């Protein structure tokens, strides 16, 4: 019997199609399994949170429970008899010198600086320096939050409602509108800026799913007055405190300068406007230069309402090639660089199980932390953790 090449090719195609279909079904089943696992984990977290709250109620009165949980912002932790009015103020180095700069690198500088629609790590890092959150974790006790933009806050007995009182001297930095080219003066941060954040992430026409999913159990935000607002959660949630006190405001006067815009028009502008090539901040640094083909430059904001950062400026250079970046680091042109595994093995003499930083003659005097108090090229080097972390501001990235 003669072999029919057409039939043979047809059978091969059929077999290949069967294999591809089986692979597709297997991948789909795996995705469904992962989704179900994530939902189960979220449910378990909620159950655990509810059980913890029940145990607190049974074991101690509400006043003691609030004090021990570190949730109340009305009574700041004290150090040496003085009230701690700003997060981690006790960790600032009293002998640190003001000035100097820090130069780091990135492999890519994005054209869109709006972290709600662009979740690249570089964007989050820059937002962390430029825009404050309501509170930050105590670096000595990570279970507690301490005030930043919030002056204080109260939590309801069931843990579902947070009443936040903002500092009245927190300000949005002045800027030149990228669209109209008009100069806009500094203005106070208000409750409306947090309400605007909430309304923005609820706009289904805005592609901010990575942020929106964290707030799916949030019932809403209610502005009581210009400097007081309430955050209400639908049900007990283990991350409610984190996502409430880690919330950052969004400047409505910058992103929605025309209140008459429809939600559709606003979503289009918010996602693709030239305003996304700049950031209007509230934090210890202000953006002074942004060139996606070269570098980003941030300088200390002398009008910042909180403790001034010791470092004068932070520069992020665009250097796509790891080898070039490593050479720049060795020459002292970069103050921070993440070593690749092979570079760590070949270029350092630190044992694989060692955790203490050791100085090597082939490397410039530098620091491995983003929190330093003098220019590392001026001749001082720190250990990676304890001393250097006390010298700067050290903002974590948004949730």
132-151 confidence digits (pLDDT tens): 999 999 999 999 999 999 99
Identify the band that residue 21 occupies on the pLDDT scale cut at 50, 70 and 90. Answer: confident
- What is the token pair recorded at 366? 């530098």
| DSSP code for 56 | H
Q: Does the pLDDT at position 376 exceed 50?
A: no
d(CA 52, CA 237): 11
Identify the band that residue 162 occupies on the pLDDT scale cut at 50, 70 and 90. Answer: very high
Q: What average pLDDT does the segment 247-263 reach? A: 96
pLDDT at 131: 97
Identify the band that residue 72 occupies on the pLDDT scale cut at 50, 70 and 90. Answer: very low
pLDDT at 259: 92
Task: Report the percentage of the chain scoring pLDDT > 90.
Answer: 58
Q: Does the pLDDT at position 192 exceed 80?
A: yes
Identify the band that residue 359 occupies on the pLDDT scale cut at 50, 70 and 90. Answer: very low
Q: Does the pLDDT at position 352 exceed 80?
A: no
**Per-domain residue ranges for the chain?**
30-59, 72-91+132-274, 98-129+283-399
The DSSP result for 159-228, as a single string, is S-EEEEEE-TT-EEPPEE-TTT--EE--EE--HHHHHHHHHHHT-TTS--HHHHGGGTTEEEEEEEETTE
pLDDT at 29: 66
pLDDT at 111: 87
148: left (phi over 0), alpha (psi -120 to 50) or beta: alpha
- Mean confidence (pLDDT) of the chain: 79
Structural contact between residues 254 and 142, judged by C-beta atoms closer than 8 angstroms: no
Give the class (CATH, top level) of 98-129+283-399: alpha beta
Tell me: domain 72-91+132-274, CATH 3.90.76.10, correct?
Answer: yes
Question: Which of 227-241, 280-294, 330-344, 384-398 shows the lowest per-residue confidence on average (mean pLDDT)?
Answer: 384-398
Q: Do domains 72-91+132-274 and 98-129+283-399 have the same CATH topology?
A: no
Question: Which of 24-28, 198-202, 316-320 shows the lowest per-residue confidence on average (mean pLDDT)?
Answer: 24-28
Task: Report the percentage of the chain scoring pLDDT > 70.
Answer: 72
Q: Which residue has the higher pLDDT, 71 or 211?
A: 211
CB count within 10 Å of CB 389 equals 19
What is the helix, strand, coil percentage profile of the chain, to 5? 35, 20, 45
CA 382 to chain centre: 25
Structural contact between residues 330 and 364, judged by C-beta atoms closer than 8 angstroms: yes
323: left (phi over 0), alpha (psi -120 to 50) or beta: alpha
Identify the band that residue 25 occupies on the pLDDT scale cut at 50, 70 and 90. Answer: confident
d(CA 230, CA 161): 7
Q: Does the pLDDT at position 342 exceed 90?
A: no
d(CA 36, CA 42): 10
Q: Quick one: which of 334, 391, 398, 343 has its CA closest to 366? A: 334
């Amino acid at each position: 019997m003669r072999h029919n090449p057409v039939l043979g090719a047809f059978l091969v195609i059929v077999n290949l199609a069967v294999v591809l279909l089986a692979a597709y079904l297997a991948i789909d089943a795996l995705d469904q399994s992962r989704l179900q696992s994530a939902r189960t984990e979220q449910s378990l977290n909620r159950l655990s949170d509810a059980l913890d709250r029940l145990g607190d109620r049974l074991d101690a009165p509400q006043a003691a429970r609030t004090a021990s949980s570190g949730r109340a912002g009305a009574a700041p932790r004290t150090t040496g008899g003085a009230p701690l009015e700003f997060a981690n103020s006790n960790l600032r180095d009293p002998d640190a010198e003001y000035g100097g700069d820090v130069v780091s690198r990135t492999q890519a500088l994005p054209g869109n600086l709006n972290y709600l629609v662009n979740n690249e790590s570089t964007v989050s890092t820059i937002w962390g320096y430029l825009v404050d959150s309501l509170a930050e974790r105590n670096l000595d006790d990570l279970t507690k939050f301490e005030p930043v933009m919030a002056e204080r806050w109260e939590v309801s007995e069931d843990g579902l409602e947070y009443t936040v009182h903002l500092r009245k001297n927190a300000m949005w930095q002045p800027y030149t509108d990228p669209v109209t080219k008009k100069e806009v003066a500094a203005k106070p941060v208000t409750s409306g800026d947090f309400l605007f954040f909430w309304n923005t992430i609820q706009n289904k026409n805005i592609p901010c799913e990575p942020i929106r999913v964290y707030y799916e159990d949030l019932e809403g935000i209610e502005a009581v007055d210009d400097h007081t607002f309430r955050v209400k959660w639908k049900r007990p949630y283990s991350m409610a405190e984190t996502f409430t006190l880690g919330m950052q405001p969004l400047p409505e006067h910058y992103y929605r300068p025309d209140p008459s815009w429809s939600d559709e028009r606003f979503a289009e502008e918010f996602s693709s406007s030239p305003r996304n090539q700049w950031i209007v901040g509230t934090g210890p640094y202000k953006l002074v230069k942004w060139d996606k083909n070269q570098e980003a430059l941030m300088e200390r904001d002398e009008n910042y309402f909180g403790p001034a950062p010791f470092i004068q400026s932070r520069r992020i250079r665009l250097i796509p090639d790891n080898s070039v970046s490593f050479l720049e680091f060795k020459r002292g042109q970069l103050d921070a660089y993440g070593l690749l595994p092979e570079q760590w093995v070949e270029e350092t003499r630190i044992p694989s199980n060692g955790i203490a930083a050791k100085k090597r003659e082939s490397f410039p005097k530098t620091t491995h932390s983003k929190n330093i108090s003098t220019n590392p090229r001026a001749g001082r080097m720190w250990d990676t953790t304890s001393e250097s972390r006390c010298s700067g501001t050290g903002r974590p990235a948004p949730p």
